Amino acid sequence: MPTAIRCATVDDITAIEAIVQAAYSPYIQRIGRSPGPMLDDYRQHVETGTVQVLESARQVVGFVVLISKEDYLLLDNLAVSPAAQGLGYGRQLLAFAEAQAISAGYREVRLYTNEAMTENIELYTRRGFVETHRAVENGLHRVYMKKDLIPNKHNP
């Protein structure tokens, strides 16, 4: 089915928040509290233009939050509706994030995820991300990762 990625509008906030609830609620028991993405202000993200949504059949089925930093693009959140998982939408959003970073002149994409979300760590590792460090922030145990977008001439 054809898909499109576009900048989110205020009309998308309900769909974004529903995806967040559905995608992250299963982790509450594992983590012992709501994951960080469930605490975000998606209206603010939409209003600042940091959210892109992926549509399929005119329905928002996923989204990505990208935040420009001085030296890198932060992939702050990427989520796909559980009903639409396994269809390649996550890979499509990740490829979009990397393309956005390259077009903006960044050499790397960085992200973090909760250490209890082992599936995410494995997925990002398969997609070329490497762990840089771990830290506890706001009571959340995070794994920080990055992906170099421009190969080093000594390590192509």
Residue 62's SS3 state is strand
Looking at domain 3-148, its CATH superfamily turns out to be Gcn5-related N-acetyltransferase (GNAT) (3.40.630.30)
In the numeric block, the tokens 């059949």 are attached to 57
As a whole number of angstroms, the distance between CA 114 and CA 134 comes to 9
1 has a pLDDT exceeding 80? no
pLDDT digits (tens, 9 = 90+) for 118-148: 999 999 999 999 999 999 988 889 999 999 9
Q: For the chain, give the mean pLDDT.
A: 93
pLDDT reported for residue 138: 83
pLDDT reported for residue 156: 44
89 has a pLDDT exceeding 90? yes
Tell me the helices (H) and strands (E) count for the chain, helix number first.
Answer: 5, 7
Q: Output the pTM of the full model.
A: 0.92
